[in-house]
């Protein structure tokens, strides 16, 4: 607490008296020094400093004058059409909004998709169920304009009016903050009082889709339909191909260098005119080693070609002029020491890396760490045999061992019926080679070394594999209190009233395992429509146990999931599924 003499402050503020002595002047000087350090108490009367209003149109004009981006000519019109409202180009931010990519050559306005029936947005800005809304919209007519593509439905029960987004605005429909829409006929039925007047969306929003499947379709029709794969400032052009002689020297521990690989990178121009230009990056073969080249394309059609034996060296040579110009003009320094050549070539991009690791022969490379493995969706060309015939090629030993599982072909054939037909959908526990009791003992002693708890991309917390887990392995036991149906129903009402999460697992029609208060880590395993585990009831020592078993090989760091298999319910009690699997049903029940 600071204590001072108010009378002295008053004397200082009034300038003091003419008969002040030297001692008084020294006190005044000390007070001046102290006054700059004293606290200022906040009051509601304080106002913020007025700030000049930002002129958006002027800022946009200045941005265009910089010409720092590579843009299409002004005479080219935007031919992208919204699949819902059939309008071309981006809409006004206050109404339709910008266009979002739905699929290859398919676009939708952000508000046309966001307000569609059954579409919901997650915390990361992903819009789910847009594909389903698009399929329904192709068969639904708008109540206002009578055209197809209407996906916004009035939330009043038994009201069958569907609209396009712009038609709903024109027909005086009300949009509320809880994402409900009511037509002009049922405005009184709205439960929410907050009406949205502006539909401008500045946050990150994108449509959730299977991007890997989309990339495979782009590569398939790249030549016939002219599709282009672009990831940020990287434009993919050619993947290249690996020959058997390339498996020893055309890679590092983190990247693969296939001859014929070609991309275009949009980067700052070396001319120093504050513009960007294209850098065509190629990988070729020279004297049995990879050769990296960059062709810099300027506006004045002048070209600068740089060739080196290392991707970082070739980029360092290209960035010399940019670095020198920035230093001379005292602009932002280019930290090229932290820019790797493999990054600028796009060889470490996750999507490009998936394509490269799908090339034949990757598993024969030594000292290369595979991250994703072969993608089943991609249809890439087969490996070229130098001799022209596969039968004349030498057998190249792979450095990867065969993945041994607990279910061997010998055990399967021994358990198969006499008719020779084997049921692949039978219980996983029937396929185990080792004794179930021995596996259960091993599970009780080693389950902590198999899994760990972490933040899930699906929902909340989840369980992840601490190491590689083979197929048909007992991973963890679902532990809890075994109770009867009557007790389970009573506890469920108590948990719901207290707003607690409910973790119950039914063993049979009479008994339920309650893991809400007495459970283990197995209760954090999330649901997935394409799970990597199954839950089975196995009897040990005459007592039923719920065991989580892997139904395929699970890699280290992969999240454990299984199908909850909830009973189907009506639309009012539907629980949305956020697993993101390609075959996701959209709902858990």
Task: Decide if 502 contacts 514 (C-beta within 8 A).
Answer: no
Residue 374 falls within a domain, yes or no?
Answer: yes
What pLDDT, on a 0 to 100 scale, did the predictor assign at position 113?
93
Neighbours of 522 (CB within 10 A): 25
Residue 195, domain member (yes or no)? yes
The pLDDT, as a whole number, for residue 282 is: 92
In terms of Cβ atoms closer than 10 Å to its own Cβ (0-12, 13-18, 19+), residue 354 is buried
Is pTM, for the whole model, over 0.75?
no
- 22-35 vs 6-13: helix crossing angle, rounded to 10: 100
Structural domain contains residue 121: yes
Same domain, 368 and 235: yes
Q: For residue 56, is it within any domain?
A: no
Q: Domain of 288: which CATH number?
A: 3.30.160.360
* pLDDT in the model for residue 494: 85
Question: Among the three residues 368, 392, 416, which one is the final residue of a domain in this structure?
Answer: 392
Residues 496, 358: one domain?
no
Q: What is the predicted pLDDT for the residue at 405?
A: 32
200 and 248 inside one domain: no
Tell me how many domains the chain contains. Answer: 3
Residue 462 pLDDT? 87
* 39 assigned to some structural domain: no
Q: Are 101 and 207 spatial neighbours (Cβ–Cβ below 8 Å)? A: yes
* pLDDT score at 428: 37
φ, ψ for residue 246, nearest 5 deg: -90, -10
299/376 same-domain check: yes
Is residue 354 domain-shared with residue 487, that is, in the same domain?
no
Report long-range pairs for 2-7 (Cβ below 8 Å, ≥24 apart): 2/38, 2/39
For residue 323, give its domain range. 211-392
Domain contains 44: no
In the three-class reduction of DSSP (H, G, I as helix; E, B as strand; rest coil), residue 338 is classed as helix
Model pLDDT, residue 197 = 81
Based on the domain organization, do 192 and 219 belong to the same domain? Answer: no
Q: How far apart are CA 57 and CA 76, in angstroms?
A: 22
589 is written with which tokens? 């029940």
Give yes or no: residues 447 and 381 share one domain. Answer: no
Q: How far apart are CA 271 and CA 448, in angstroms?
A: 59
Chosen domain end from 207, 223, 258? 207
Are residues 363 and 217 part of one domain? yes
541 with 433, same domain?
A: yes
Look at residue 194 and tell me if it is in a domain: yes
One pLDDT digit (tens) per residue for the chain, 589 residues: 333 444 434 343 444 444 444 455 455 455 555 555 566 676 666 666 666 666 667 777 776 776 666 777 777 788 899 999 999 988 888 888 999 999 888 999 999 999 998 888 888 888 988 998 999 999 999 998 989 999 999 988 888 889 999 899 988 888 888 888 889 888 887 777 778 888 888 888 999 888 878 887 887 777 677 788 888 889 988 888 888 778 888 888 888 898 999 999 988 888 766 778 888 999 998 888 899 988 888 766 667 788 888 888 888 887 888 888 888 877 777 777 777 888 888 888 888 888 888 887 777 787 888 877 776 666 665 555 555 665 665 555 444 333 333 333 333 333 333 333 333 333 333 333 345 667 777 788 788 888 888 888 888 888 898 888 888 888 888 888 888 888 888 888 888 777 777 778 777 777 888 887 777 888 888 888 889 998 888 887 778 888 888 988 888 888 999 888 877 766 666 788 888 888 888 888 7
Report pLDDT for 571.
64
Instruction: Give the distance, in angstroms, between the CA of residue 517 and the centroid of all CA atoms in the same chain.
Output: 33
Q: Say yes or no: 216 and 201 in one domain.
A: no
- The pLDDT score that the predictor gives to residue 395 is 55
CATH number at residue 128: 3.30.40.10
- Both 282 and 305 in a single domain? yes
* 333 within a domain of the structure (yes/no): yes
The predicted pLDDT at position 112 comes to 93
Identify the CATH number of the domain in which residue 509 sits.
Answer: 2.170.270.10
Domain boundary among 365, 392, 419: 392
Supply the DSSP symbol for 141.
B
Shared-domain flag, residues 135 and 194: yes
DSSP string, 40-90: ----TT--PPP-PPP-HHHHHHHHHHH--S----TTS----BBTTT--BS-
């Amino acid at each position: 607490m600071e204590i001072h003499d108010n009378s002295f402050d008053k004397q200082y503020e009034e300038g003091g008296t003419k008969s002040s002595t030297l001692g008084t002047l020294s006190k005044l000087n000390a007070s001046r020094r102290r006054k700059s350090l004293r606290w200022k108490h906040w009051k509601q009367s304080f106002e913020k400093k007025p700030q000049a209003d930002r002129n958006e149109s002027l800022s946009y004009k200045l941005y265009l004058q910089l010409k720092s981006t590579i843009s299409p000519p002004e005479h080219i019109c935007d031919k992208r059409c919204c699949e819902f409202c059939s309008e071309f180009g981006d809409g006004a931010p206050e109404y339709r909004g910008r266009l979002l990519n739905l699929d290859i050559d398919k676009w939708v306005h952000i508000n046309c998709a966001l307000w569609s029936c059954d579409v919901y947005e997650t915390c990361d800005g992903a819009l789910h169920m847009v594909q389903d809304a698009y399929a329904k919209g192709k068969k639904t007519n708008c109540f206002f304009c009578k055209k197809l593509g209407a996906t916004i439905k009035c939330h009043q029960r038994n009201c069958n009016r569907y609209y396009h987004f712009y038609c709903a605005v024109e027909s005086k429909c009300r949009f509320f903050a809880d994402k409900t829409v009511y037509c002009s006929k049922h405005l009184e039925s709205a439960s929410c009082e907050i009406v949205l007047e502006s539909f401008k969306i500045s946050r990150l929003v994108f449509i959730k889709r299977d991007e890997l499947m989309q990339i495979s379709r782009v590569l398939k029709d790249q030549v016939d339909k002219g599709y282009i794969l672009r990831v940020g400032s990287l434009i993919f052009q050619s993947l290249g191909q690996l020959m058997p002689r390339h498996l020893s020297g055309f890679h590092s521990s983190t990247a693969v260098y296939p001859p014929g690989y070609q991309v275009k990178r949009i980067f700052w121009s070396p001319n120093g005119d504050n513009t960007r230009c294209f850098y065509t990056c190629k990988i070729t073969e020279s004297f049995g080693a990879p050769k990296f080249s960059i062709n810099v394309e300027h506006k004045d059609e002048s070209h600068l070609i740089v060739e080196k034996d290392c991707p970082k060296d070739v980029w360092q040579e290209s960035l010399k002029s940019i670095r020198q110009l920035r230093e001379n003009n005292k602009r932002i320094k280019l930290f090229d020491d932290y820019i790797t050549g493999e990054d600028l070539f796009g060889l470490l991009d996750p999507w490009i890396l998936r394509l490269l690791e799908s090339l034949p022969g990757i598993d024969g490379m030594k000292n290369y760490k595979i991250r994703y493995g072969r993608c089943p969706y991609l249809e890439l060309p087969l490996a070229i045999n130098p001799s022209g015939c596969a039968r004349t090629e030498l057998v190249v030993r792979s450095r990867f061992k065969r993945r041994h599982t607990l279910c061997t072909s010998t055990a399967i054939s021994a358990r198969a019926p006499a008719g020779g037909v084997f049921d692949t959908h039978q219980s996983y526990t029937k396929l185990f080679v080792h004794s179930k009791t021995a596996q259960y003992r091993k599970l009780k002693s080693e389950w902590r070394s198999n899994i760990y708890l972490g933040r899930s991309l699906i929902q909340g917390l989840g369980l992840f594999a601490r190491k590689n887990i083979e197929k048909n392995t007992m991973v963890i036991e679902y532990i809890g209190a075994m109770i009867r149906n009557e007790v389970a129903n009573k506890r469920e009402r108590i948990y719901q009233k207290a707003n607690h999460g409910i973790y119950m697992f039914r063993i049979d029609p009479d008994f339920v395992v309650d893991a809400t208060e007495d459970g283990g880590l197995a209760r954090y395993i999330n649901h997935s429509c394409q799970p990597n585990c199954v839950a089975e009831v196995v009897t040990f020592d005459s007592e039923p146990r719920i065991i989580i078993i892997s139904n395929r090989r699970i890699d280290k760091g992969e999240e454990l999931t299984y199908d909850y298999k909830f009973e189907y319910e009506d639309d009012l009690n539907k629980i949305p599924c956020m697993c993101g699997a390609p075959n996701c049903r959209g709902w858990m029940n």
